[in-house]
Amino acid sequence: MQGIVYDSQGLRIGSMAKLEELAGDANVRREYPGLARAASEVGSPQIRHTGTVGGNLCQRPRCWYYRQGHGLLAVYDGKAMAPAGDNRYHAILNNSDPAYFVSPSSLGPILIALNAKLRLASPRGTRDLPVEQFFVIPKTEGEREHDLKPDEIVTEVLVPPAQGTRSGWYEVRQRKGMDWPLALAGVALKMSGSQVESARVIMGQVAPIPWRSTEAEQALQGKSINESVADAAGKAAVSKATPLSRNKYKVQLARVAVKRAVLAASGMTA
């Protein structure tokens, strides 16, 4: 559960590896720059010094209704509290009910973009699970937001070889330091010459799970990356957003995060 190893099989990250260790690893910075940047901007230096990769993936939602004891789905007298309440930081995608919180993990979106897997261990043995399937949307109050059994722990993160895939990441915060993101995006581009052969665009802080935008991916397919193409991808990423009464501002932030993550992945200035 400790350490970071890079070899021909890809990248193995122990779940207890510190965030600053991941951000500063030379192989990660060279082969997976989007992942290194995501780790480098989590919280504050103190948090990165003590916080772990597994902890970032498994943390519970920051939704204030949940934190004040109203349950993961935040229901009171049979009605969801977020739609008519203070929903400034809640979901703008896939928020039609019952879940309105946003997935808090900063590493989840970029790891999904990179097609990473988690290794989970229990007394029964181990199982590998794509990071994309680790995050789930609960339908009832008894369910949780991670596919993690009561007797399981995350032991490793397994990232396949980059093999020319370019990754980028960008987040928007209310304050630059010691704050959580309001919107972020992780992008992985597989190039054929100057054109995008395939793309994976994953947004964070906008839905109850890290949100994959097939619309943005289609907007990038077969294109050469420039400012207008990146902007079109950002616009496509939020085309199905349904903001609540007080979080419409997040639509523009998510659009910008996708645009700049695409530019970062292509090697242009984010």
Task: Tell me what pLDDT residue 179 has.
Answer: 80
Tell me whether residue 26 is in a domain: no
Task: Tell me what pLDDT residue 97 has.
Answer: 84
Closest-CA residue to 181 (of 37, 80, 71): 37
In Å, what is the CA distance from 15 to each residue of 4, 125, 158, 237, 246?
A: 9, 17, 10, 30, 36
Tell me whether residue 16 is in a domain: no
Tell me whether residue 69 is in a domain: yes
Question: What is the number of domains present in the chain?
Answer: 1
Range of the domain at 96: 60-270
The 10s digit of each residue's pLDDT in 147-162 is 999 999 999 999 999 9
User: Mind giving me the DSSP string for 2-49?
Assistant: --EEEETTEEEEETT-BHHHHHH-HHHHHH-HHHHHHHHTSS-HHHHH
**Gap between the Cα atoms of 162 and 16, Å rounded:** 23
**Gap between the Cα atoms of 250 and 238, Å rounded:** 10
Name the pLDDT band for 177 (thresholds 50, 70, 90).
Answer: low
Tell me whether residue 201 is in a domain: yes
Strand partners, 211: 203
What is the arithmetic mean of pLDDT over 181-205? 97
Task: Tell me what pLDDT residue 270 has.
Answer: 61
**Gap between the Cα atoms of 45 and 155, Å rounded:** 24
* 224, pLDDT greater than 90: yes
The rounded mean pLDDT for the chain is 96
Q: Cβ(96)–Cβ(80) under 8 Å?
A: no
Q: Cβ(168)–Cβ(265) under 8 Å?
A: yes
Q: What is the dihedral of CA 253, 52, 3, 1, to 10 degrees?
A: -120
- Residue appearing with tokens 């207890």: 16
Task: Tell me what pLDDT residue 173 has.
Answer: 92
**Gap between the Cα atoms of 97 and 140, Å rounded:** 11
The 10s digit of each residue's pLDDT in 13-35 is 999 999 999 999 999 999 999 99
Tell me whether residue 3 is in a domain: no
Q: Cβ(169)–Cβ(261) under 8 Å?
A: yes
pTM over the 0.95 mark: yes
- Residue appearing with tokens 């590896």: 17
Task: Tell me what pLDDT residue 124 has.
Answer: 96
What is the arithmetic mean of pLDDT over 47-69? 97
What is the arithmetic mean of pLDDT over 96-107? 95
Tell me whether residue 99 is in a domain: yes
The answer to which of 70-79, 151-160, 168-177 has the lowest mean pLDDT is: 168-177
What is the arithmetic mean of pLDDT over 82-91? 97
Amino acid occupying residue 177: G
- The CATH number that applies at residue 233 is 3.30.390.50
Name the pLDDT band for 195 (thresholds 50, 70, 90).
Answer: very high
Q: For residue 135, how many other CB atoms are within 10 A of its CB?
A: 20
Query: By percentage, how much of the chain surpasses pLDDT 70?
Result: 99
What is the arithmetic mean of pLDDT over 103-132? 98
Tell me whether residue 12 is in a domain: no
Task: Tell me what pLDDT residue 96 has.
Answer: 86
Tell me whether residue 165 is in a domain: yes
